[in-house]
Amino acid sequence: MRNFLIAGNWKMNCGIAETQSLLTGIKEIQDSMPEGVDGLVCPPMVSLQAAADELQNISGIALGGQNVHFEDNGAYTGEVSTQMLNEVGCDYVILGHSERRQYFGETDKTVNAKVNKSLEDGLKPVICVGESLKQRKADEHKLRVRKQVQAALIGVEYEDAQNLVIAYEPIWAIGTGETATPDQAQEMHKMIRAVLADLFDKDAADQIQIVYGGSMKPHNAEELLQQTDVDGGLIGGASLKADSFTDIIEIADNLS
Ligand code: PEP
């Protein structure tokens, strides 16, 4: 019913030359996405145009930003607008990544403003939520993630639900080599879908892609993607190598 979404978050990696070579490498292995799999790459801002050019030769991989501002334009040094992302060819934008929350002062409130602005201007937000290790150990992980999802979606209209992607990313699993177990991931994704059903309705919730992020690699992707409510991956490290990214796409294809 739902396609898998296999998304690469390149973070602060890959300038223009590396972007061209990574996407050339991906194209050599996989020049079009399999039917049941949506692809997405999110390079740094300065590499978006180079990526957009390369993606002309790969069908089914969309382009996304890693952040956006909630105002149209103006005196916001260092920021980019939704219109700028649209102009360069982005269809998606990652919002509320834990690294942005941790290092750049992103809050539930700014994430919510960015979600609404992105939807208004035709960008699909990939909304990142996830608990810290401390919160999980204190058994507060469900409460934390439920609140993050609810806060991010304040003011979002029913008609826009189909344009949302939620990324469940336990902070303790990002870049650490440690992953949530398939059961832990399924439990959280199922809960997130229930929150979405409460906010919208069951039909809408059943259509929203909820992807897992946190050290997803070719060796653990299958068991995670097999879970009923895990609809893909937001992938950091393993998206920076053509073979590991396309291996995960192939695993998703075999499961779809
Ligand atoms: C991420 O950056 O969203 C991420 C999940 O990174 P990694 O796959 O490297 O853990």
pLDDT of residue 111: 98
Cα 233 to Cα 248: distance, rounded to the nearest angstrom: 9
pLDDT of residue 207: 97
> To 10 degrees, the CA torsion angle through 165, 209, 13, 71?
-10
Per the listing, tokens 């991956």 go with 233
Q: How far is CA 150 from the centre of its chain?
A: 17
**Which helix (H) or strand (E) segment is 97 a member of?**
none
pLDDT per residue as tens digits for the range 203-248: 999 999 999 999 999 999 999 999 999 999 999 999 999 999 999 9
CA of 75 to the centre of ligand 1 (A): 31
pLDDT per residue as tens digits for the range 48-75: 999 999 999 999 999 999 999 999 999 9
pLDDT per residue as tens digits for the range 107-133: 999 999 999 999 999 999 999 999 999
Best mutation site among 6, 9, 97 for ligand 1, i.e. most ligand atoms within 8 A of its Cβ?
Answer: 9
Nearest Cα to 252, choosing from 170, 236, 227? 227
CA of 214 to the centre of ligand 1 (A): 5
pLDDT per residue as tens digits for the range 11-47: 999 999 999 999 999 999 998 999 999 999 999 999 9
CA of 110 to the centre of ligand 1 (A): 21
Nearest Cα to 4, choosing from 196, 162, 234? 234
Residues with a known catalytic role: 97, 169
Cβ 175 under 6 angstroms from ligand 1: yes
Cβ 236 under 6 angstroms from ligand 1: yes
Confidence of residue 178 (pLDDT cuts 50, 70, 90): confident
Q: Which atom of ligand 1 is nearest to the CA of 99?
A: 2
Nearest Cα to 208, choosing from 225, 191, 193, 188? 193
Cβ 221 under 6 angstroms from ligand 1: no
Provide the 3-class DSSP secondary structure of residue 17: helix
Confidence of residue 177 (pLDDT cuts 50, 70, 90): confident
CB neighbour list of residue 43: distance below 8 Å, 6 or more residues apart: 10, 14, 19, 50, 51, 63
- Report phi then psi at 40, rounded to 5: -155, 135
- To the nearest whole number, what is the mean pLDDT of the chain? 97
Structure tokens at 99: 């690294």
pLDDT of residue 175: 87
Provide the 3-class DSSP secondary structure of residue 215: coil
